[in-house]
Amino acid sequence: MGCGASSEKKNSPPPQHKQSVKGKDIKRRSSGGKNSARGGGAKGKGFMNSFALKFPVINKSFHAVFDSFQKFHTAGNGLKEQITADLAGTVLSQIAGDDKKFSDEELKELFHISDLDKTNTITFRQFLISVAVGYFLCDSVKNEDERFLEVQSGFKVVEQAFRDIDADGSGSIDVQEMKDALFFGHGANDAALLEARFKELDFNEDGDVELPEFMYAMVSW
Q: Is pTM beyond 0.85 here?
A: no
Question: What confidence score (pLDDT) does residue 123 get?
Answer: 85
Q: pLDDT tens digit string along 210-221?
A: 999 999 888 776
Which of the two residues, 191 and 212, has the higher pLDDT score?
212
* 28 in Cβ contact with 34 (< 8 Å): yes
Kindly state the percentage of the chain with pLDDT values over 90: 24
Q: pLDDT tens digit string along 161-190?
A: 999 999 999 999 999 998 888 775 545 557
Q: What whole-number distance in Å separates Cα of residue 26 and Cα of residue 49?
A: 27
Which of the two residues, 13 and 125, has the higher pLDDT score?
125
Question: What confidence score (pLDDT) does residue 85 get?
Answer: 86
> What mean pLDDT is reported for the chain?
75
Q: pLDDT tens digit string along 61-118?
A: 998 888 877 776 655 544 446 788 888 888 888 888 877 888 889 998 999 999 988 8
Tell me how crowded residue 79 is: count the other CB atoms within 10 A of its CB.
13
- The β-bridge relationship of strands 82-83 and 122-123 is antiparallel
Confidence of residue 141 (pLDDT cuts 50, 70, 90): confident
Q: What whole-number distance in Å separates Cα of residue 109 and Cα of residue 95?
A: 17
Tell me how crowded residue 209 is: count the other CB atoms within 10 A of its CB.
26
Tell me how crowded residue 41 is: count the other CB atoms within 10 A of its CB.
19
Q: In the beta sheet, which residues pair with residue 104?
A: none
